[in-house]
Amino acid sequence: MTELNFKKTKPKQIEEILIQVCLRIAKRGEGALFVVGDVEHSLLVDQNVPPFFITENPKLLESLALMDGAVIIDKHGIMKSYGAMIKSKTTFKNFGTRHSAGLTASMVKGNLVFVVSEEDKKVRILKNEKMIMQIDALQRDVEKSVPYAVDLLESVGAGALGTIGTGLLLPALGITLIPGIIVFGSAYYLGKLLTKKFS
């Protein structure tokens, strides 16, 4: 066992690094796909970069994400593979192959998926086949909102959001609690979230 197997990174740290990296990629008009968890995939490139903690080298993570394919990160924050091709089992209506691959990866229980769209410069977070959050990289000072977005994911639990987020093929009910960030869910759930946030 390597030293990497003994250290654990908190989910909040993983989410914050990923959102920051995704926003930098989106602002440049490039796309990327990150999967926190595991998903069946094949590799498009030789794996010359050894596994590393993403919190310790976000710039390398960003570079790897710009290659074709997804970056697979385990639940402890270790980059496991890059240039990963995820065969889509379903399509993300009105979106391309990257979003469809992300939707497929989100079908695996426990996975949290971050998709960066080069077309509209938005970061979409998926879980349980649902979009649970969308962040607009073009929103002024959106980087300042990243800790709040992570707190929101943590306070209500990405798992809870994932169970009631918007179905990707259904009309979405979203609410903006933080500038540039939309959280998706049922009217009942969003009402409870608002009450919790502002009480």
* pLDDT 10s digits, 133-170: 889 999 888 888 888 888 777 655 554 454 444 444 33
With a cut of 70, say whether residue 44 has pLDDT above it.
Answer: yes
How confident is the prediction for the chain on average, in pLDDT?
A: 81
Q: What are the structural domains of the chain?
A: 3-198 (3.40.1700.10)
Evaluate whether 114 touches 123 at the Cβ level (below 8 Å).
yes
pLDDT for 173: 52
Ranked by mean pLDDT, which of 88-92, 130-134, 153-157, 177-181 comes out on top?
Answer: 130-134
With a cut of 60, say whether residue 83 has pLDDT above it.
Answer: yes
pLDDT for 155: 59
Q: What pTM was computed for the model?
A: 0.83
CA distance 37 to 39: 7
* DSSP designation for 8: -
